[in-house]
Structure 1
Amino acid sequence: MTGEHPTLRKVTCVHKFIFLGIFPFAGPGEGLTGSTDHFTSSERGRSQCLRLPARPRRPARPRRCAPASCDPCDPAARLPVPCQCRRCCRAMATCFLLRNFCAARPALRPPGRLLREPAGAQRRSYVGGPADLHADLLRGDSFVGGRWLPTPATFPVYDPASGAKLGTVADCGVPEARAAVRAAYDAFSSWKEISVKERSSLLRKWYDLMIQNKDELAKIITAESGKPLKEAQGEILYSAFFLEWFSEEARRVYGDIIYTSAKDKRGLVLKQPVGVASIITPWNFPSAMITRKVGAALAAGCTVVVKPAEDTPYSALALAQLANQAGIPPGVYNVIPCSRTKAKEVGEVLCTDPLVSKISFTGSTATGKILLHHAANSVKRVSMELGGLAPFIVFDSANVDQAVAGAMASKFRNAGQTCVCSNRFLVQRGIHDSFVTKFAEAMKKSLRVGNGFEEGTTQGPLINEKAVEKVEKHVNDAVAKGATVVTGGKRHQSGGNFFEPTLLSNVTRDMLCITEETFGPLAPVIKFDKEEEAVAIANAADVGLAGYFYSQDPAQIWRVAEQLEVGMVGVNEGLISSVECPFGGVKQSGLGREGSKYGIDEYLEVKYVCYGGL
């Protein structure tokens, strides 16, 4: 019997039929069936001692069951029973088997949890705050080779809204990083041979588990990053959709057959996984930045080692728990959190270890350059999504109300802490005053600063004190150079890491808020006269991730969309990210693309095979 449970080896053919009759849905890896790898040797030995009770005699049976006397699932039920029709006897025998089976051994572990957790595995819950966090998802150990492993050192994680300590997390160093790479390398040889259908199925199960646990995962994001719960819920859905998308893309990796100029030769083009991928992710989207990379890598047949940001490690570890439950094999997905003090050395290992074939990083341009330097020595494949300085241009022909709505969506999502958020607002002279007035009104009306767990909050705290200081520095620099504070401009009355949504006018190109990425709730507005001037200001940056502009002139739309030196353009739209579309930048904003049908290619090698002698 395919997928036969080890405890049923002694069962007669008749009782096998009974068992399958009651559980027709069960199959390998589902319900009560599965591989013998789920059990230890002692458990196998104990399971083989089980025997079914003697089959009861069958006297003349009534044609119909007596409802009052027939309850095969009643724990108090015993054989024989007054009603002994064929259906009831079969059900009663099976229930008797299941009761004795469950009493003889511990409950089965979920399909993904193949290994025992070591003593001391952490199961912390965040209590006493606005919402409790799910203890089973809030893990504190590293996840390597399918096991939760503690480390000698730990580091604390804090709620940026309240400053409260959420818990402590394993502080991995060089030894743990090398062990994780080795685990991923060992798993790669078998993972790449798994059929694309099975990889697709496992990614789909992971997606399903994310959807089932979306509320708890969102609470973890809000607790460790501070973003409003509604935004966190949106991120979880966005994250899960990447797993769904790449579960489908796994089955659409195609090769080619080429007819060459020689009659007796054919060219075959194959696509193969590159190997172990190091995944280094930021804190601003602690879940989505992982699934966007890992989903593509696993779909391609690669294995991964994830180093999450030190501010938000819990989301990565929660994803590991769900990946394990989904049945992702040990070593395919590994997570090694570490503190800021160890981030440099761990990052160096992930970039220089000879067993690593691919590096994918999202973060600052400065850090990206360091990682590129490390990767250059061994010529590793690299994907990078780095800093942005997105322009937001509003031309005279634009619908001002639509432009204001787009500006609100683009600028203040996650308190302005997104790589694609608008950093420089360029507004044409004819509608400048109207735009600034309506923008200020919308900010005062729509934005509410507070704890992300509080109902109605639209802007949470910045991630830490250093982030607050940078916004404050940019505001003070602009005011000192002649800018006008229209609204906001200072730390919020709540104190801590909160900063008021701020709008500046009379801004000039030499101010820090124009030349540097603020990464906070600051909207500086520059006035311009001609289209060429706006495009020149927009392109006067060494980065080019995203750009936005509003116009109702079709010819102008084509011109500006083609002239902006960015990887992504929003035309009359402030939110541009989508799992189906390529995400990435030009200049010093990065290398490669994520998401879309192009995302999986970042983890595939193209091999040409010349087949001769035909």
Structure 2
Amino acid sequence: MATTHPSAVPPHLPADLPTGLLIGGTWRPASGGARFAVRDPATGEQLVEVADGTPQDGLDALTAAHEAWPVWQAVAPRARAELLRAVFEQVVARVEDFAAVITAEGGKPLAESRAETLYGAEYVRWYSEQAVRINGMTRTAPSGANRQIVLHRGVGPALLVTPWNFPLAMATRKIAPALAAGCPVVVKPAGLTPLTTALFAEVVRAELERRGLPTGVINVVPTSSSSRLVSPLLADPRLRKLSFTGSTEVGRVLLQGAAQNVLRTSMELGGNAPFLVFADADVPAAVEGAVAAKMRNAGQTCVAANRFLVHESVAQEFATGLAARFAAMVVGPGAAPGTTVGPLIDAGAVDRVAEVVAQAVDGGARVVTGGDRPDRSRLAGYFYNPTVLTGVDPSARAVREEIFGPVAPVVTFSTEDEALELANSTEFGLVAYAYTRDVDRVFRVAERIESGMLGVNRGMVSDASAPFGGVKSSGLGREGGEAGIEEYLESVYVAL
């Protein structure tokens, strides 16, 4: 059984942490004066209150972005690049401040929060380098009758809706390419974790102001009611782009709203990642990869391994090894020294994970380790112990649904075809993982797996320089890499 820390450590928040709305370069209260609480998931206690943006605030932010657009679009690509590079350097210099805020509002261990800060900063650095590489094309038409020129320019004001689980990295993955492409933004951060995005936005705002650039390029409107804020923005013809990371259910609703003005959309939606371990795999390496793929942010990541599909000949060795690693983890507040597994985001998340485990056990699964909540007299927040389940029925919720918690259900297979059939038997296709020593099998899996990304003999795939995104109900478009900036560009064809 995983060990626990008995009490929370009070979080340290930076003195310059904004709690208002950023509109047109000014931090201000919500138009109605309302505020909502941001809570520490390690204790359930309130950290601060932030401004609760209204629909009018959202439209004001769009006005600021729209007014900044022609000025920002005319800024030289090199100047945009230098701005982003300066922001990157400031974020890295303030890694402890950002990590403290991420841990305070999201709960993840400080080591993970530091890693997120550096990972998120890499998107800013990458797109600072891409800002000067927005290339066009010129050629003679195949008929020889004329010349063809293709120009690329920013699509215009963009609405960026970010999730709570990576409040810095998911923001920078959208904001950096948008600004590099010449697109002002309105950011709607998750209501559970708005503080990290606010701190990043202040770094950008201050750097814009220092350089004499339009501060209305970045606007941030937190709110306790996403739908009431987002719907009027999608209906406004001044908005030209929507980027969303979150559930497929919400993504479908947003796509319907975006259709009325035919907005460019990028959607990174739900996942149900298979983790395949073949008979010839290096099982100890697969166990370590499984820990990496499953346990970041207590399993609350879109690329978390969700279904562990293991060849029957190595299933016991794999499950035993994984259970030993899970049992050795330390559950506790993210700010406590030694913590390796922090809390889930809220009480509802804990209840849902508990229900999924109970349903699997009722269906015949066996709990190898975990399967319960820590003693609430020691940990009063939103915690669940790292859990390994074996003998899980493939029809169980733990296999069919995205768990978003520290639970690893193990399902066995006997042939490669069966493994791929199980892996593809879902509407989702964000990422998959495969462990094998057979090079030919690697290519067979890559050619047949229905996912946008594949990690081979590794439990992490995310990189600022690579295209991130899924297929089927896991979304549209890509973030990161060269493809990420293309999502914010439109092509103009000129015939001469």
1:295: Cα distance to partner?
A: 0.3
Q: Which residue of 2 aligns with 1:520?
A: 405
Q: Which residue of 2 aligns with 1:545?
A: 430
For residues 355-374 of structure 1, what are the structure 2 equivalents within 5 Å?
Answer: 355-374=238-257
Does 2:205 align with 1:324? yes
1:384: Cα distance to partner?
A: 0.4
Does 2:18 align with 1:139? yes
CA–CA distance in 2 between the matches of 1:567 and 1:429? 27
For residues 402-417 of structure 1, what are the structure 2 equivalents within 5 Å?
Answer: 402-417=285-300
For residues 393-432 of structure 1, what are the structure 2 equivalents within 5 Å?
Answer: 393-432=276-315
> Residue 411 of structure 1 contacts residue 421 of structure 1 at CA under 8 Å; is this kept in 2?
yes
Q: Which has the bigger relative contact order, CA under 8 A and spacing at least 6?
A: 2
* Letter aligned with residue 230 of structure 1: A
* Letter aligned with residue 350 of structure 1: L
1:268: Cα distance to partner?
A: 0.2
Q: Which residue of 2 aligns with 1:106?
A: none
* Letter aligned with residue 323 of structure 1: V
For residues 157-556 of structure 1, what are the structure 2 equivalents within 5 Å?
Answer: 157-327=38-208, 329-339=214-224, 342-445=225-328, 447-493=329-375, 494-556=379-441
CA–CA distance in 1 between the matches of 2:442 and 2:86? 42
CA–CA distance in 2 between the matches of 1:227 and 1:330? 32
1:438: Cα distance to partner?
A: 1.0
For residues 539-568 of structure 1, the C-alpha deviation after alignment (integer angstroms, 9 at most, x for no partner) is: 000010000010001111110121110000
Q: Which residue of 2 aligns with 1:130?
A: 10
1:264: Cα distance to partner?
A: 4.9
What TM-score, normalized to structure 1? Answer: 0.77
CA–CA distance in 2 between the matches of 1:546 and 1:248? 27
> Residue 82 of structure 2 contacts residue 128 of structure 2 at CA under 8 Å; is this kept in 1?
yes
Could you say what secondary structure the match of 1:252 adopts? coil
Q: Which residue of 1 aligns with 2:3?
A: none
Question: Percent identical across equivalent pairs?
Answer: 46
CA–CA distance in 1 between the matches of 2:433 and 2:417? 15
For residues 327-350 of structure 1, the C-alpha deviation after alignment (integer angstroms, 9 at most, x for no partner) is: 2521100000001xx211112123
1:129: Cα distance to partner?
A: 5.0
1:277: Cα distance to partner?
A: 0.4
* Letter aligned with residue 542 of structure 1: E
- Alignment partner for residue 459 of structure 2, among 549, 566, 574? 574
In structure 1, stretches of 5+ residues that fail to align are 1-127
CA–CA distance in 2 between the matches of 1:428 and 1:262? 57
> Residue 130 of structure 1 contacts residue 454 of structure 1 at CA under 8 Å; is this kept in 2?
no
In structure 2, stretches of 5+ residues that fail to align are 1-7
Does 2:27 align with 1:148? yes
> Residue 467 of structure 2 contacts residue 484 of structure 2 at CA under 8 Å; is this kept in 1?
yes
1:212: Cα distance to partner?
A: 1.5
CA–CA distance in 1 between the matches of 2:361 and 2:336? 33
For residues 561-589 of structure 1, the C-alpha deviation after alignment (integer angstroms, 9 at most, x for no partner) is: 21110000000000110011100000000
1:202: Cα distance to partner?
A: 0.7
CA–CA distance in 1 between the matches of 2:130 and 2:102? 27
For residues 152-204 of structure 1, the C-alpha deviation after alignment (integer angstroms, 9 at most, x for no partner) is: 11001110001221111000011000000010000001000000010001111
CA–CA distance in 2 between the matches of 1:481 and 1:357? 48
> Residue 71 of structure 2 contacts residue 214 of structure 2 at CA under 8 Å; is this kept in 1?
no
For residues 589-608 of structure 1, what are the structure 2 equivalents within 5 Å?
Answer: 589-608=474-493
Could you say what secondary structure the match of 1:498 adopts? coil
CA–CA distance in 1 between the matches of 2:232 and 2:350? 31
* Letter aligned with residue 428 of structure 1: H
> Residue 544 of structure 1 contacts residue 567 of structure 1 at CA under 8 Å; is this kept in 2?
yes
CA–CA distance in 2 between the matches of 1:333 and 1:551? 45
Give the superposed CA RMSD.
1.0
